[in-house]
Chains A and B, each alone.
Chain A
Amino acid sequence: MLSVRSLNTEYKTKSGPAVRAAQDVAFEVPPGKFFTLLGPSGCGKTTTLRSIAGLERPTSGEIEVGGRLVYSSSKNVFVPLNRRNFGMVFQSYAIWPHMSVYQNAAFPLEVRKRGLSPAQIKDKVATVLKAVALDHLTDREATKLSGGQQQRLALARALVMEPELLLLDEPLSNLDAKLRERMRFELKRIQRELGVTTIYVTHDQAEALALSHEIAVMNEGRIVQIGSPRAIYDRPYSRFVAEFIGNSNFIDGTVLGAENGTSHWRIRGAMGDLVAISDTPLKAGQNVTLSIRPENVELADDAFSGGGTLNLFSGKVDQRIFLGDYADFQIRLGNILMMSRAHPALRASVDETIHMRMSPDSCVVLHEGGTAATKPYTAD
């Protein structure tokens, strides 16, 4: 459906060299899928989105939507954005304050001369307002809407022309926390019901995980990893991805050798030997970093008796923080500290000995070198 190929964007600055906002960005989005560009501010995600929209002109690359080339530097193609037929929701919603709810939603149909009769326009607007649950506010002034309603109106306006592509630029970031969570479900429901191919930009990992079919994690203008939410979370490609999405323990170690199986390896770390998973073959003697999610560090007051026998350690409780629905532990093993997220029923107190177990599949060997030297990688 959408295919972005080796997209580069540069900004001229008043002094000094050009800033490279997007570098060799490439991805494919199948029809009807929800695709998220996730990354910290300044990572190039918004630039990429605006390039797809046509609001910005990239320096080089190609963008194709549904078989139609909308931008190509080599073929000198640039379809003006008002002929691209994409819907977009802006961070500030950009609801026109001088129009009513109806007028806002009808605008895209009115300005396109596609021979729609007023009755047809009315029908379409009614349908789309119903879809976003604003049908009871049709005649209200747009400025009298609440934040959440404005957001839904912006969505309705983007959807009313049945766009080939729906582009969302951090649409939830201006809402308060409670409303944001509710809108997350709303947005997911609407997207799944209408099946419109959606590109979503956010810096909020929870949003990305909750909404997307696929996520592209970006850093410093490049895509670091593309994958399903689960793959990104469970099998982060690099330290950057593991740190940006969720929390993680990082353990440095040296590869000792393969452990019965193709993808499991025995690694010697400061806390002792452990077995970890890697998607690429490793060499003995190679230095690696492991990522272990705190919730994958199992804790027990007494030594584990059944279940897995690998990666068993014991240490002392250094700190314990009770957070209601769970408890965070810091466990000291020699000179390293491990974080663990445990059920609050575990009552081990500070300085007591505690036992730990980590499944080999949750000890992930990370790739070296951050982002610059690596190629986009697709898990699954």
Chain B
Amino acid sequence: MTGISSAELARLPERSLFDPKWIVLGTVVAIVAWLALVPLIFLFWQSFFTPATADNPAVFTLGNYAEVYGSARTLQLFFNSATYALGSALLALTLGTLLAWICERTNTPGKPLFYALSVVPIVIPGILFVTAWIMLASPQIGIINLVLQRVFNTDYVFVDIYTLTGMMWVDGIQHAPLAFLLMSASLRSMDPALEESALMSGASMWQIAWRITLRLALPAASAAFLILFVRSVESFETPALIGLPVGIEVFTSSIYEALHGYPSDIGLGATYAVTLLAITSVGIYWQSRLSQQGSKYATVTGKGFRPRVMDIGRWRWAAFGFFILYGILVIGLPFLILLWSSLQRFYSVPSWEALQNVSLDSYARVLEFPSVGTAVWNSFLLATGSATIIMLLSSIVCWIVLRTKIPGRWLLDNMASMPLVMPGLVLGLAVMICYLALGGGIYGTIWILLLAYVTRFMPYGMRFSTTSMLQIHKELEESAQLSGASWLTTFYRVVLPLLKPGLIAGWIYIVIVSIRELSSSILLYSPGTEVVSIVLWELWQNGQYTQLSAFGVMLICALFVFVIIAHLISKRFGIKEV
């Protein structure tokens, strides 16, 4: 007779219906769909409606679009945004590519140091970088001007940060490390034989760099350019701190103005946001198209590449000097100016007299602020909370997308990656509209910030999870299941541990970007739910430059310590890059 009784047979299908797998998967799909789609729907809705007030309910209107597209101001906005983004993306790409080529292909001394240096700016919050550069290059208080004026005994303004060029400069050098990372990854994945065979053909180093290396890196460079362009279009700190005071407006600063002006016009803000969203969507769409196209250039042979460096002779000292100059501009000067002003009671130009007045007063004063303690605690909670939630969510989403044959899983993938096209300010606005309309008491609490952070950084989590999931062979899971493990056990005991290095790397990355986050938080915070970047923002608005610098210096040091600890931990878990 058979070993299974009819009663047992009857139970089998029942068991598979109540497989906890479906509960977990269903919940995750629902969460992702809610996070990614619902706020967006509300944003669109709001752009077609008048703001609801206590007396008047929202009514349908095309007035917002008429106002936005009917005015010459929008044309100016378009022009400003495009020029600004184009300029800073080109600057970042040129710098980043040059640095990547020097690092990957030449025998310039001090390269290991430079790799470490290149990651530092990613850690420094954007608002600190921008304020530091204002202190450096403002026509009135900028140190560069004051020093040069003293040297040449003139009152000529040498550099003026409050211009479109100034904005491009600050944004461009700030994003150069990202361009550097993207381009050096692309240079590293290039088969060295492609360049070696050009050498064997008798080509000179410059001919190879120009005719082979750069051409091969062109698809990667175009994709990087689009990423940088979108980053600049959606960047908030630079336009808000440098552009707004002198009336150079771009889309992000217009959204902020519409909401914070009097009277606040949420419908107009939503319309600007939809327009901005359209621009970034087109950018990201072309970028993904390019990346797919770029795969025909993929010349990976699976053989371990022996990286080949070229002897550039005396040029290597020029390259080394270029490193140093870049390091000074991006890390050295900004940090030193913050350090200097943090040691002053009142903001003043470095001089012999000012040196006599060095004190730690600002540090003491900033720590007395009641909001500082709350903000640090909030940032800590939000960063660790969102990083943990995102890594868990994204690992399950990745599993569904890569391992199952569930129809429509590509939709899930797209949904989870969609917030990538949403500028922080747009996301903040969408989330705000959504929970103001839905109620539920979330608005004004720390939970709305958590929701925004999880939505905003989910695509990063997806990227880390996908990369590490692709490296795990399916058979490892299948053999666990053949051994009799249930889906939950397999996921918990086999998949998650194998994903661990990737998950930890992703977690660290999300913690860092969460602490830097400003553009979503600025629309969502209320008294009591400030985060560190908001405190910096408020200090700047109040003109408390010395306290801002003190807080900034402490924050940079803390983040730096965190990165070093994270690096040590990652090394233990075998993670190569953070």
Contact = CB atoms under 8 A, between A and B. Distances in A.
Interface in A41-83: 53, 55, 81-83
Contacts of B303: 91-92
A158 B200 contact: yes
Which of A85, A93, A94 has the most chain B CB atoms closer than 10 A to its own CB?
A94
B200 A92 contact: no
A84 to B, nearest CB: 8
A108 B212 CA distance: 12
B297 A157 contact: no
B interface residue count range (under 10 / 10 to 19 / 20 to 34 / 35 or more): 20 to 34
A87 interface: yes
A111 B202 contact: yes
B250 to A, nearest CB: 35
A90 interface: yes
A92 B299 contact: yes
Given A92-B299, A97-B299, A53 B200 contact: yes
B301 A91 contact: yes
A378 B276 CA distance: 77
A326 interface: no
Contact of B193 (A82, A92, A107): A92
A347 interface: no
A111 B198 contact: yes
A143 interface: yes
Nearest to B299: A97
B207 interface: yes
B196 A90 contact: yes
Contacts of A158: 197, 200
B258 to A, nearest CB: 46
A92 B301 contact: yes
Contact of A81 (B199, B215, B299): B199
Nearest to B191: A92
Interface in B281-329: 296-297, 299, 301, 303, 308
Contacts of B308: 55
A45 B296 CA distance: 31
Nearest to B297: A97
A94 B196 contact: yes
Given A91-B303, A96-B216, A98-B297, A107 B200 contact: no
B201 A108 contact: yes
Contacts of B203: 82, 107-108, 111
Contact of A96 (B194, B200, B204, B207): B194
B314 to A, nearest CB: 16
Contacts of A143: 296-297
A111 B201 contact: yes
B277 interface: no
Interface in B193-246: 193-194, 196-204, 207, 211-212, 215-216, 218
B191 A108 contact: no
B393 to A, nearest CB: 38
Contacts of B199: 55, 81-82
Contact of B218 (A53, A98, A167): A98
Contacts of A217: none
Interface in A132-163: 143, 154, 157-158, 161
Which of B215, B216, B299, B303 has the most chain A CB atoms closer than 10 A to its own CB?
B299
Contact of B216 (A82, A83, A98): A98
B204 A55 contact: no
A35 interface: no
Contact of A88 (B200, B212, B215, B301): B200
A226 to B, nearest CB: 26
A111 B193 contact: no
B202 A161 contact: yes
Given A90-B193, A92-B299, A96-B194, A85 B202 contact: yes
Given A91-B193, A94-B193, A83 B202 contact: yes
Nearest to B308: A55
Contacts of B202: 82-83, 85, 108, 111-112, 161
Interface in A260-288: none
Interface string A105-123: 0011001100000000000
B200 A97 contact: no
A213 B133 CA distance: 70
B198 A88 contact: no
Contacts of A86: 200
A92 B194 CA distance: 9
A174 interface: yes
Nearest to A163: B200
Given A91-B301, A92-B299, A94-B193, A81 B200 contact: yes
Which of B197, B203, B204, B296 has the most chain A CB atoms closer than 10 A to its own CB?
B197
Which of A88, A111, A174 has the most chain B CB atoms closer than 10 A to its own CB?
A111
B216 A107 contact: no
A87 B200 contact: yes
A91 B301 CA distance: 9
Nearest to A87: B200
A93 B198 CA distance: 12
A157 B204 contact: no
A111 B204 contact: yes
A145 to B, nearest CB: 12
A98 B203 CA distance: 17
Nearest to B217: A98
A167 B61 CA distance: 74
A222 B197 CA distance: 27
Contacts of B297: 97-98, 143
Interface string B427-452: 00000000000000000000000000
A111 B196 CA distance: 14
Contacts of A88: 196-197, 200
Which of B201, B204, B215 has the most chain A CB atoms closer than 10 A to its own CB?
B201
Contacts of A94: 191, 193-194, 196-197, 299
A157 B197 contact: yes
Nearest to A92: B301
Nearest to B204: A82
Contacts of B216: 96-98
B206 to A, nearest CB: 10
B191 A82 contact: no
Contacts of A92: 191, 193, 299, 301, 303
A157 B201 contact: yes
A81 B197 CA distance: 10
Contacts of B197: 88, 90, 94, 154, 157-158
A88 B201 CA distance: 8
B212 A96 contact: yes
B370 to A, nearest CB: 52
Nearest to B192: A94
A171 B216 CA distance: 22
A111 to B, nearest CB: 4
A98 B293 CA distance: 12
Nearest to B298: A97
26 contacts: A53-B200, A55-B199, A81-B199, A82-B200, A82-B201, A85-B202, A88-B197, A88-B200, A90-B196, A90-B197, A92-B191, A92-B303, A94-B196, A96-B194, A96-B212, A96-B216, A97-B297, A107-B198, A107-B211, A108-B202, A108-B203, A111-B207, A157-B201, A158-B197, A161-B201, A167-B200
Nearest 6 CB-CB pairings of A with B: A108-B201, A94-B193, A90-B193, A111-B203, A92-B301, A94-B197
Interface of B: 191, 193-194, 196-204, 207, 211-212, 215-216, 218, 296-297, 299, 301, 303, 308
Given A92-B193, A96-B216, A112-B201, 19 more contacts: A55-B308, A81-B199, A82-B199, A82-B201, A82-B203, A82-B204, A83-B202, A88-B196, A88-B200, A90-B193, A91-B193, A92-B303, A94-B194, A94-B299, A97-B216, A111-B201, A111-B202, A143-B297, A161-B201
